Structure 1
């Protein structure tokens, strides 16, 4: 689809980043857009022209011979995973975290691996992927676990917060584009803070378990409201589970092709751009993880 925002993938030659290229190529085909392969390394120039990007094309730095093999293998992987996808590649000198964050402003999705090389500004969950999940302007897909081209359902972590609406919409869209089911999982426990917020329900009151369960069912239903009509082709399984949120999500990820979470949940602190649940699944989920930030107000 000409003119549409591409899927951007960061590649550094590591096995993890090459898996990310394959996943990104499949996403580009599903979205009907081009695949933009970006290899960034080193540091930006000391002086940046006004209005310019904080990097320079690698062709002016005299190092393309160092990465031709990396790009060549990445393109081969992309074409094998999704034949016919239009591929654009760029090699730039700059910090990967800065380059990919700026690329996210004109991308439909940014894809990275969960592990990278230790040289050339490696892509790791602790650095680039984690930073992008908290700051990118578009959804970020972190490729974890074994490759799962198609089949397993999309797993959506539902927390009922307004900020997570984008994650819900993204999960429905992904399930529709890839022709898979959607599992909407809402995990609750007795420490759930949102269930009773009126002055008549002080925090020290012992709540009726049945009433609390009914309230959490309502939260799940409202979070999905209206999207079933927009995506009638998506079969939705609703799961309401009492337990520990992070542990339950990571365990459920074993049967998922993709786990979708919001960047922050209802209980997150205002200053934290990436919540504890999102961080936990980025580090421990057995499947790819997509983090979707809330749209600016």
Structure 2
């Protein structure tokens, strides 16, 4: 397990009940990792040219700026109830939510978000801010959704890609902190191209292919299993949809961890198809992990 007390757990708030759920989760994560907690509200109104101070005819505590400060104060107080020993700071930062959170995430160990806030549309499964930040943040992003099972495992998706390796490392670290088992899930349907332009065989041996996919799974976790000998690891080799397998495993999980992009991802997409589907349909909180080289290009 690693810890750097200088890098905080970061959480974004907007005054919604969902954001307070994120604050509680972030406070627990900060306590678990022995890190400080930073609470941020992105204050967009100055960019819109809207008056932010109190109305001259109203109370001095009115106005949008004071309202934003109350959001942060409420969140700081809620964090103190959950994790009284965790150092907490709160700030109202001028700017739109996505750029503010991405800038703050540069110095964070983990960013925690609700799946939808005040600006979310009821018909959407995940708010647009959460999707954009999850895809571009330079630290792992924990999206609070579903119902975590306190005695369940940490589940991680494995496909052998560099981004998947980052996700596996995060999942092992998380399982060690939580004292939880880890379930490594690798799903396959057909031979998968390793690089763009790879030619795939029209006919293939299913038994040989299954053995190869088992090798990918085993090799992807072997080094981490040696580094974390106290973490109990289970392998799940599934012939079927990776997203479907991970969503099913999430029903009994504390947490599901996926890489932002896998082997089949297109570079222009915000998130790979698997991470996008899991983010929208998992029954437990989800962590999106990016490969450092990919994150540095945002």
For this structure pair, what is the TM-score category when the shorter chain's length is used for normalisation? 0.7 to 0.9
Pair 1:85–1:235, CA change in 2 (3 A):
same
| 1:249 Cα deviation from its structure 2 partner | 1.3
Q: How does 1:254-273 map to 2 (within 5 A)?
A: 254-273=251-270
| Residue number in structure 1 paired with 2:40 | 38
Deviation per CA, 1:186-238: give whole Å up to 9, x if none. Answer: 1111253349x98xxx5343211110100000000111121111111111111
Aligned in 2, Cα 1:213/1:3: closer, same or farther, shift over 3 Å?
A: closer
For residues 13-59 of structure 1, give each alpha carbon's deviation from its aligned partner in whole angstroms, at most 9, with x where no partner exists.
1111111101101111111110000011315659xxxxxxxxxxxxx
Cα deviation code 1:73-128 (max 9, x no counterpart): 31232122223111100012210111000001000011100011139xxx983421
Q: Deviations over 1:128-166 (max 9, x none)?
A: 111111110100111011255x32110001111123211
The CA deviation at 1:251 is 1.4
- How many residues align structurally? 277
Aligned to 1:288: 285
Q: Structure 1 residue 272: deviation in Å?
A: 2.6
Q: Which residue of 2 aligns with 1:9?
A: 11
Which residue does 1:53 correspond to in 2? none
**Contact 1:263/1:293 (<8 A) preserved:** yes
Residues of 1 paired with 2:170 and 2:262: CA distance? 16
Asked if the contact 2:116–2:127 (Cα under 8 Å) also holds between the matched residues in 1, the reply is no
2:247 is aligned with 1:246: no
Distance 1:238 1:118 in 2: 39
TM-score normalised over the length of structure 1: 0.85
Q: Which runs of 5+ in 1 are unaligned?
A: 47-61
Whole-Å Cα distance in 1 between the matches of residues 125 and 237 of structure 2?
33
Distance between the aligned counterparts of 2:221 and 2:269, measured in 1?
25
Match of 1:158 in 2: 158
1:170 aligns to what SS in structure 2? helix
Q: Distance in 2 between matches of 1:157 and 1:265?
A: 9
CA distance in 1, matches of 2:125, 2:141: 14
CA, structure 1 residues 3+287, in 2 after alignment: closer, same or farther (shift >3 Å)? closer
| Deviation at residue 178 of structure 1 after TM alignment | 1.1
Match of 1:206 in 2: 203
The residue aligned with 1:54 is none
Alpha-carbon distance in structure 2 between the residues aligned to 1:225 and 1:266: 19
Matches of 1:266 and 1:291, distance apart in 2: 15
Q: Are 2:171 and 1:138 aligned?
A: no
* The 10-residue stretch of structure 1 (110-119 or 22-31) with the greater mean CA deviation from structure 2: 110-119
Structure 1 match to 2:98: 97
Q: What residue in structure 2 maps to residue 77 of structure 1?
A: 78
- The alpha-carbon distance between structure 1 residues 2 and 136, as it changes in their structure 2 partners (threshold 3 A), is closer
Higher deviation after alignment, 234-243 or 76-85: 76-85
- How big is the alpha-carbon RMSD for the aligned residues of Structure 1 and Structure 2? 2.6
Distance 2:263 2:232 in 1: 26
For residue 261 of structure 1, give the secondary structure of its aligned residue in structure 2: strand
